[in-house]
Amino acid sequence: KERTGLVYERRFLNYKYKNSDLLSMHYTGTLFDTGAKFDSSVDRNQPLEFTLGKGQVIQGWDQGLKNMCVGEKRRLVIPPELAYGDRGAGSAIPPGSTLVFEVELMDVKSGERIYPGAPGAQASSPGLLDTIE
């Protein structure tokens, strides 16, 4: 309660998503050293959907997105060893790059991801985070 009489409640999401749940995230990725943007689901207006903990995204995301609530925003600074390491990713991410991601959890859906091409599947964007080796 504020001195002015205003009363507010802090609400927390009690639901803890499971590793089999589908997360829908908006993100913008930049290089730590230069600030250059290399990818953004926000620019495409298409959130990235993936299952956390299944190796579908870089390790820094698998670790840094745990226990987020829908609507929560985080800034992740990811060292190279939890991103693309010494190999980099194409011309956009040089080898050994530390990455910065501004992320927002848009939605959580129960169950495993339906992959493109499967019955009822929707196409997903081919962003940099779709695949990890």
Q: Is 39 a catalytic residue?
A: yes
Alpha helix ranges (H) inside 18-117 = 41-44, 59-64
- What is the chain's mean pLDDT, rounded? 80
Name the CA dihedral angle for 109, 120, 57, 68, rounded to a multiple of 10 degrees. -10
What is the pTM assigned to this prediction? 0.73
Residue 19: per-residue pLDDT: 73
Q: What percent of the chain has a predicted confidence (pLDDT) above 70?
A: 70
Instruction: Please pick, among 17, 78, 93, 101, the residue that the annotation labels catalytic.
Output: 101
Q: Which of 17, 21, 50, 58 is catalytic?
A: 58
38 a catalytic residue: yes
Q: Kindly name the residue from 17, 38, 50, 62 that is annotated as catalytic.
A: 38
Q: What is the pLDDT of residues 75-111, one digit of tens each?
A: 999 999 999 999 999 999 999 999 999 999 999 887 6
Fold of 22-111: Chitinase A; domain 3 (3.10.50)
| pLDDT value for 133 | 31
Dist CA 94 CA 57 (whole Å): 18
Q: What are phi and psi of 66, to 5 degrees?
A: -60, 140
* Domain ranges (residues) in the chain: 22-111
Higher pLDDT, 117 or 133: 117
Is there a catalytic annotation at residue 130? Answer: no
- Kind of pairing, strands 73-78 and 48-51? unpaired
Query: Is 8 noted as a catalytic residue in this protein?
Result: no
